[in-house]
Amino acid sequence: MFKETGMTAPLPHPAISPRESNARPTMRDIARLAGGVHPSTVSLALRNHPGISEATRKKVCAAARKLGYRPDPLLDAFNTHRLEVLPHKAPPIIAFMADFESRSALEKSPQHAALWAGARSAAEMLHCQIELFLVGKNQLSPERLNSILRARGIVSLVIGACRPSTTHLAFDWNDYSAVKIESPHLDIPLYTLSSDQRQAARLAFRRLYDLGYRRLGLLTHHSSDSKQDDLYRAGFLLEQRRSRHAAAVPPLTLTSSSAPNVVESWIRANAVDAIVSDTLDLPPLLARMGLEVPREVGFAALDATGDSNQVSGIIPDHARVGAQAVEQVVGLMRINQRGLPATASCTYVPVSWREGATCALRSAAHFEEMMKEFPHSHERTRENLNSLTLTPTP
Amino acid sequence: MFSNPTIKDVARVAGVHFTTVSMALRGHPSIPPATRDRIVAAAGRIGYQRDSVFSALSNRRSRTETRNFAPGIAYVVNRSPENGYFRRSHYRMLVEGARKQAEALGYRFEMLVVDKGYHDSASLYEHLKKQGFTGLIIGAFEPGRAVIELEWSEFSVVKIDSRHMHPPVTFISTDQLNGVRLVVKKMRALGYSRIGLAVGIEDEEGTDDMHLSGFLLEQNELPPSQTIPPLFFPRGAVAEDAIPLVRSWIKENGIDAVVCNWTNTRTMVTAAGFRCPEDVACACLCLGRRNPALAGLVANMDLVGQRGAALLATLMRSERRGIPTSATTTYVQGNWYDGTSAPPRNQSS
């Protein structure tokens, strides 16, 4: 770092405010007032760069305060813009941590591939470099990743969606500007990005309901202790309560220890006529039970990303979630916000509905019944299905 | 042909000097209309676009006085100080959180009021334009009061609450869903078993049913005999209207703890004829500040304000204006504090 002894002695006081009184103080002015450090030291110190000693940082900050220095957002915007034209020599690096054994395994999961692609394109837009780090079996342990990031001076981190088996991440959070994607089971109050699962369940319910299905059931999977399906249930229960046909079907949650015939007995016992589920592979199972889709049982997937079999259901915007995560982490970087926030907060990205072959207008009789009950519901459906707010059923 | 056309490219195509292009595009009176039209047509043909970042920068450079030229974030509210804006502590905290964050990022910050005796949409628009505000926070607009309609495409916009209001932009709020869940879990841990949720219907509608979602989720674990129907106070109800409803609801359902979003929860339970906390305990979902006599959640209003300004800065930095195709929603959790209205059950019974 800079040695003050090697410098010419700082000028006496008049040099502190050589500019007109109303001019904006610059880093050079601060450098001079802070005892003749280099302006780049000022820049680093104001960004809490770990390479600057605490004493120097304090001295620089005191000088900045004294001069009333404020970062210039216009220059910041200009820099962002300029970087689109000029290649940056050493762009800041964002680490994207993914919970996969291999890169090809990640690419095979359509959700995670989309998250990663979205994150990459946002990083490019913001002139940051993004690097994928895999943790998990045969890959890095979180501890090892932590020390690699430290050694390379990488301070921004996106925790890509973690699988339920990963419950603990040993990072020195105070060193990082970090956000996480989904992973509600990770009990770390990081700023979180997620697709809007509550909206997904509501949208799927409403779509099926408006097609004439009346005994809708929610079927989700979770491994022990995870909270992954909570928001699906929150949305589903809300719509179920809203629909006039009381005698609600209780949601069914499958765990690894569930008996194989539990789905069939749930369908029969509750006379379920449509299923909203977080898996895609339900239709073949229903066929094996002798239930015809969509005539006898309708089906909507809560995440139909990557499906090629024309399943009806929700398409979350995973790429947007990944992009938003990078945008947020860059935002944190710019204001040097590191460590865990005192309070958790979460940003949800809206989802949309995709038509498919696994649900259909029930029948003329069903439809008439529906129209009698809710004369405007069909138009309303068209208008509202993909909008943010759902009109409550009367 | 022109990947990123400049005025020099326009000049070449139109066969004039580039300063003429500059003046013509700004509508300078010394350029004859025929020349101007020719230049404008040439600019259109090669796809020249004025670069707002560069022009903002050169505008700033050409002035020695720069203090007023930081881009501005305007925080707009629809209740004037005369109508008690600053007497509501949660509003104050929202504005302060947003101001702190905006200023830390170097933006100018101003609070503007849309209300009787203050701005309407037209004068607000004029003011924002004149003062160079490009970022806008719609700060917790109250339903039933003034709304604004602006040329949204000219601004980067985020909304704090104000769900009833156009436009559908980036949205920030307190987390009622997890708030209800946290309070119900706390009450259960304190030993209460018949926990009821009471909220004003306007608050429920205004939050996209987040309270009810959280409550249904918590009750979903319980056998049907233990679930309790939520109580919604009717539209426009005040405490006097709500008290008899609370009384019969508690009686009919054998409720031992009331979870409510009104800050006068304890007074209402008492007025309904129950000893609090001996007969019925209660907790509030949105306390403005910590209250030793009332257990509940203190909403992190300053953090909501902060997040609002931070998300807005992200939009402004990348020049994203107007109404996005898909707007995100962001929720900030509150913090639980114990209070005498909800002591551990085994002590009081």
Q: What is the mean pLDDT of residues A232-245?
A: 89
Terminal Cα-to-Cα distance of chain A (whole angstroms): 69
Helical axes B18-25 vs B7-14, angle rounded to 10°: 100
Q: Would you say residue A392 has pLDDT above 60? A: no
Query: Region B12-35: what's the mean pLDDT?
Result: 86
Residues A22, B330: C-beta atoms closer than 8 Å: no
**Lowest model confidence (mean pLDDT) among A27-36, A161-170, A185-194, A285-294:** A161-170
Q: B104 or B135: whose pLDDT is higher?
A: B135
Please give, rounded to a whole number of angstroms, the shortest distance from the CA of B343 to a CA of chain A: 25
Whether residues B136 and B195 share a domain: the answer is: no
- Out of B64, B212, B313, name the one closest to residue A23 (CB): B64
- Selected for mutation to probe chain B from A22, A65, A74 (highest B CB count within 10 Å) is A74
My answer on whether B83 and B228 are in the same domain is: no
Distance of alpha carbon B154 from alpha carbon B320, whole angstroms: 10
The closest alpha carbon to B168, from B112, B197, B208, B122, belongs to: B208
CA-CA-CA-CA dihedral for B174, B178, B179, B181, to nearest 10: 170
Buried/exposed code over B4-33 (b: 16+ C-beta within 10 A; e: otherwise): ebebebbbbbbebeeebbbbbbeeeeebee
CATH class of segment(s) A4-67: mainly alpha
Residue B74 lies in a domain: yes
Q: And the tokens for A223?
A: 């491994």
Contact A331, A320 (CB under 8 A): no
Where does the pLDDT of residue A305 fall: very low under 50, low under 70, confident under 90, or very high at 90 and above? Answer: very high
Judge whether B311 lies within some domain.
Answer: yes
Strand, helix or coil for residue A180: strand
Question: Do A93-196+319-349 and A197-313+352-384 show the same overall fold?
Answer: yes
CB A222 within 8 A of CB A255: yes
Evaluate the omega torsion of the peptide bond into residue B167 and state whether it is cis, within 30 degrees of 0: yes
3-state secondary structure of A326: helix
B residues 169-208 closer than 8 Å to A (CB): 175, 177, 208
Residues 6+ apart with CB under 8 A from B8: B18, B21
Q: Are residues B207 and B288 in the same domain?
A: yes
Q: Are A204 and A313 in contact (CB under 8 A)?
A: yes
Q: Report the top-level CATH class of A197-313+352-384.
A: alpha beta
pLDDT band, very low/low/confident/very high, at B3 (cuts 50, 70, 90)? low
pLDDT in tens, B121-143: 999 999 999 988 999 999 999 88
Q: List b or e across B50-71, with b for residues whose CB sees 16 or more CB atoms inside 10 angstroms.
A: eeebeebbeebeeeeeeeebbb
CATH class of A93-196+319-349: alpha beta
Quick check: A389 and B208 CB within 8 A? yes
Spatial separation of the C-alpha atoms in residues A345 and B331, rounded to whole Å:
5
Q: What is the DSSP letter of B167?
A: P
User: Is A84 in CB contact (< 8 Å) with chain B?
Assistant: no
B286 vs B183: CA distance, rounded Å: 11
Instruction: For chain A, give every domain's residue range.
Output: 4-67, 93-196+319-349, 197-313+352-384
Residue B77: its H or E element: strand B72-77
Quick check: is B42 in a domain? yes
- Cis ω on the peptide bond leading into residue B71 (within 30° of 0)? no
Residues from chain B contacting residue A238 (CB–CB below 8 Å): 209, 212-213, 216
Whether B316 sits inside 8 A of A345 (CB atoms) is no
Query: What domain count does chain B have?
Result: 3
Which chain B residue lies closest to A229 (C-alpha atoms)? B217
Judge whether residue B23 has pLDDT over 80. Answer: yes
Per-residue pLDDT, A51: 77
> pLDDT digits over B279-313, tens only?
999 999 989 889 999 999 998 999 999 999 999 99
Please determine, for residue A17, whether its predicted confidence score (pLDDT) is greater than 50.
Answer: no
**pLDDT beyond 60 at B242:** yes
pTM: 0.77
Residue B1 forms part of a structural domain: no
pLDDT for the residue numbered A14: 36
Supply A141's token pair.
């342990």
* Spatial contact of B92 and B112, defined as CB atoms under 8 Å apart: no
Chain B contact for A198, CB < 8 A? yes
Tokens of B243: 């008290």
Its domain, for residue B95, covers 68-167+303-332
Of A42-56, B206-220, B262-276, the poorest mean pLDDT is in A42-56
Give me the residue from B105, B317, B326 closest to A317, CB to CB. Answer: B326
